[in-house]
Structure 1
């Protein structure tokens, strides 16, 4: 059995430093980088048909400009986490520079090949950005502020998605495609520069395990608490992705037009951004993470049930916004719990969580897609997935200390 060394967070730890104040400037710059990464990811999604015509390719080919991201994330989630655990600042800087460089590369030529090359580079940087969310909070914020920092950065990722769809709606024509891509590149480059400047500040922690050793992936997975968190995120990730992917065709038989469904989905993400900004903070301060996660899953299941039995425009707006409001905060809540538990293995543990979440984001939508012409069954599958996750939270205690697996050479 793997042994775990229990240490209070920051108390007498070798990673503790004299820097007590919170560096919110670093968190703010990082939040914009995270938002820019998601903005670049979804640049072409709202204008798929226009992009296909502009580049002379199929709509399926344009879909691969976004599909590159989950593909590379599955491949690089763990290596990126390992890199961040050992070299936090260089790893985070690399993620920001890859985001900016890939976004700018798309402007090097007006062709599908240049767009694909840029998207691949940004997708390689994405795990270095998203895996770093809890680490940025731990390394630059006082303990009392960390839940707020994780919540802010998580909300930033979803805000980047909203910005992508808003810009796509504002610039929908083929002759505006270069401007659309250029705006994303400008945001990414400015954000990367701001983060590089902010990273000159010293870390609150050492950023590396004592004695230069690293915690192995096997030792991290040996912690049952971390394993349960990884399994848990499979369901809210997957359910949310399924809803975002198939809500429009599933609601169409109930008289919901495509343009109305688009507004519903935009409001769904906006509701999630708002809730991500404060629900995780309240949960952490009151130590009610488990109760809030359970409540969120139950409410999401009820929303799916309502859509299954009484689909309409009013129930669509109400249910989808509720689902976004209760499901999206599960990510920052889990990342905050992970930060308190994983200690020096935080990057690796975060990579494992994002990995299982992305697997859920593939498998559950695939299952729902099989019933795209049977809306009742499809929505019931989503609701059942939420309820299946509830037992995983039974007996899940909030960690009050950092449980760091005994250092092992990877």
Structure 2
């Protein structure tokens, strides 16, 4: 397989990864408008997004196992279900239909995101895999950014169908592109032997994989908490909703840039642990800054720093998992994503309880991020026992 064809597969996969996040957050930027349009509460609209991390926690491991056993069919199924669920939302102008469509996409999401390491492992040479994983991870944050931009550009009730249709068309085009490229490329030049059930059990019980999962629990939770409640936490310090939206958008854009650039340089130089620990420390300091001196300038600085330094930890950890687990990378990635989403549910839940006390909420985020530092320090090179357990 020529190099150009390999990267066409990665590019098509990145489009599907972006589509999952674009569809996930379709209604988040227009919650109030969507609630009025469908005649439901804002809390109900929130569940159109909240079900995604909940279902991810449940489906992460089954999706990882499916990808390890049947990579191409499982990934194609994830892409097609994403497009199908997105299209289902257009069948009727009714909240129940939209909820069903979002649920289908939420079920598909683990089949796509768990494949970030697998797509690189199957179709790229070893030296190119960190770049492939970085591109795949960055695409998910790019999809989030696109959702915020589209929500700001199409905020009116009369534009809600157009907003939904754009996400649907993008998801459909991405699904077709990935399906065509995967069928054209075959199983890939770096085809892995399907893992046995014993190997899957060993991956779940691998102490090094568990340490990788622990390392993302609190940082991932901090990002979800800030993305969910950032606007509400900045408002008491005089930051308008429009300004806060820009801050959150820049945060995600900074994350896209950070995920695309930093992991590649870090992994090629073999400085994963120092990079992760520096990122966690810088992000914790950023949260503490806005806790002590809230305002637009400090909020902007803090959220940009968090995007640049905290989010790249995810592709770095995913690359470390791919390198350690080999053929069971889908299961390992599923465990990591599951742990991250669980951290998001817990940290965001605690932050929500403090939404009326922004300084305490930002301090909580600083503490949870800082807790990731000692956990990251445990990610030394795998011991002989770790290596044996992953076989």
Residues 400/273 of structure 1: CA separation in 2 closer, same or farther (3 Å cut): farther
Q: Rg: which structure is higher?
A: 1
Q: Distance in 2 between matches of 1:194 and 1:31?
A: 10
Tell me what 1:305 maps to.
Answer: 288
Query: Where do 5+ consecutive residues of structure 1 fail to align?
Result: 1-18
Q: Distance in 1 between matches of 2:344 and 2:200?
A: 22
- Answer yes or no: is 1:208 the counterpart of 2:173: no
Tell me what 1:53 maps to.
Answer: 36
Q: Distance in 2 between matches of 1:379 and 1:217?
A: 39
What are the Cα deviations for residues 272-297 of structure 1, in whole angstroms up to 9, with x where unaligned?
11111110001111001100000000
Alignment of 1:108-147 (within 5 A): 108-147=91-130
TM-score, structure 2 as length reference? 0.95
Residues 142/217 of structure 1: CA separation in 2 closer, same or farther (3 Å cut): closer
Please report the RMSD computed on the Cα atoms of aligned residues, expressed in angstroms: 1.8
Indicate which of 248, 269, 292 corresponds to 2:275: 292
**What secondary structure is seen at the aligned counterpart in 2 of 1:297?**
helix
Q: Distance in 2 between matches of 1:406 and 1:262?
A: 44
Q: Distance in 1 between matches of 2:226 and 2:50?
A: 17
Q: Distance in 1 between matches of 2:330 and 2:309?
A: 25
Task: Give the paired residue count.
Answer: 387
Contact 2:203–2:390 (Cα < 8 Å) also in 1: no
TM-score, structure 1 as length reference? 0.91
**What secondary structure is seen at the aligned counterpart in 2 of 1:199?**
helix
Tell me what 2:178 maps to.
Answer: 195
- Answer yes or no: is 1:335 the counterpart of 2:318: yes
**What secondary structure is seen at the aligned counterpart in 2 of 1:311?**
coil
What are the Cα deviations for residues 145-177 of structure 1, in whole angstroms up to 9, with x where unaligned?
100011011110000001011111111111111
Tell me what 1:353 maps to.
Answer: 336
- Answer yes or no: is 1:321 the counterpart of 2:286: no
How much has 1:339 moved relative to structure 2?
0.3
What are the Cα deviations for residues 183-216 of structure 1, in whole angstroms up to 9, with x where unaligned?
111000000000011002131233433xx72345
Tell me what 1:5 maps to.
Answer: none
**What secondary structure is seen at the aligned counterpart in 1 of 2:197?**
coil
Alignment of 1:19-98 (within 5 A): 21=3, 23-98=6-81
**Greater shift in the superposed pair: 83-92 or 106-115:** 106-115
**What secondary structure is seen at the aligned counterpart in 1 of 2:117?**
helix
Tell me what 1:178 maps to.
Answer: 161
**What secondary structure is seen at the aligned counterpart in 1 of 2:324?**
helix
